[in-house]
Amino acid sequence: RYQPTCYEHAANCYTHALLIVPAFVGMALLHRLSDTSWERITAVVYGLGLCALFVVSTVFHIITWKKSHMRSMEQCFHMCDRVVIYFFIAASYTPWLNLRELGPLAAHMRWFIWLMAAAGTIYVFNYHEKYKLVELAFYLTMGFFPASVVTSMSNTDGLHELACGGLIYVLGVFFFKSDGIIPFAHAIWHVFVALAAAVHYYAIWKYLYKSPGSDSLLET
């Protein structure tokens, strides 16, 4: 297993640590812009998924960097880091599945995507790091399969942003698989994740939560 340099460890930590506060602020903003209980619940689910992604990733990389002798804790947080990705993917689709008029499969996909996240969790705790390509395929399948339902929405506003964010994630996978080959590869992967998450957040804010009076709300 590749051992990052001290500078790479630092980059792995800071590239996600710096996004923790913005993620919480973003969740609070969507919650404030919500008009209904369903919108508020959706904002919290999505926001918690976003926050958990950056928090757990940061904690794991700090432990890996500073507490390398605590192997059991490192292993635990490594699994949590992988599990959170599944739930983050599910949370990222939740606003579109909950707040947009979609085809008849949308209601089923709304719950199926969380079953996929649960299945991914079971996989991680049973086969962690054993079949890495299978795990990667699981992430990609979960990331793209619900898109077949989301693209059926009659209102197509936001589809370009969704596609753009998805493309950024896919391009970032190259660096995710390049540890030990490209310097700072994992930190670069983190940057791709941050950019893709920002694009998707912007789309959710603009097309699902922002109303004509939102700008005045932000100024109060």
Binding-site sequence positions for Zn(2+): 61, 186, 190
Distance CA 47, CA 26 (A): 7
Per the annotation, binding residues are 61, 186, 190
One-character DSSP codes across the chain: -----HHHHHHHHHHHHTTHHHHHHHHHHHHHH--SHHHHHHHHHHHHHHHHHHHHHHHHHHHHHH-TT-HHHHHHHHHHHHHHHHHHHHHHHHHHHHHS---TTHHHHHHHHHHHHHHHHHHHHHHTTTSHHHHHHHHHHHHHTTHHHHTT-S--TTHHHHHHHHHHHHHHHHHHT-TTTSTTHHHHHHHHHHHHHHHHHHHHIIIII--TTHHHHHH-
